[in-house]
Amino acid sequence: MPIVTRAYVFAALLWLLLSLAAGLVLAAPGRFPAAWVAVVMGPGWTHMWALGWLTQLIFGIAWWLLPTIDRQRGRGTAWPLWLGFVCLNLGLPLRLLAEPAARAAPAPAWASIGVLLAAAMLLAAGTCFVIPMWRRVR
């Protein structure tokens, strides 16, 4: 299994654990600090399992599994996948922290900038997967 695949799968499993824990917070919000509840409420929890767990697992396994470009080039260069890995695993926690803060009135300036940065990083993570994978789908 390539190293980049291992990194994606390991991170995906961590996000699975985190999203399961977040599910507990959502099931009994009164038992946990309000800040924790705010982070996982709304779209936060959905993105923890859909993006952090499922999408990240697919990205990693697809890089390993899909047909190679050709015999010489193999899977091709992995740096876009590494860049996507960093963007996804920084962008997702940034979103989880900044989005609830940006909804508060008045919203702190860092939260608004954090949301914009997270949006750009998550978009970049998807793009960094699609571009190298496109020519491998053959």
CB 98 within 8 Å of CB 110: yes
Name the minimum Å distance from CB 102 to another protein.
Answer: 4
Mark residues 50-79: x for contact with another protein by CB under 8 A, - for none: x---xx--x---x--xxxx-----------
Q: Which is nearer to another protein, 68 or 77 (CB)?
A: 68
- Binders in 88-107 for another protein, by CB under 8 A: 95, 98-99, 102-103, 107
| Closest distance of CB 31 from another protein, Å | 28
Shortest spacing between CB 67 and another protein, in angstroms: 5
Q: Which region, judged by CB under 8 A, interacts with another protein, from 5-13, 15-23, 74-82, 111-119?
A: 111-119
In sequence order, what DSSP letters do the residues of the chain get, joined into one string?
--HHHHHHHHHHHHHHHHHHHHHHHHHSGGGS-HHHHHHHTTHHHHHIIIIIIIIHHHHHHHHHHSPPSBTTTBT---HHHHHHHHHHHHHHHHHHHHHHHHHSSSPPHHHHHHHHHHHHHHHHHHHHHHHHHHTT--
Q: Which residues are at the interface with another protein (CB under 8 A)?
A: 50, 54-55, 58, 62, 65-68, 95, 98-99, 102-103, 107, 111-112, 115-116, 118-120, 122-123, 125-127, 129-130, 133-134, 137-138
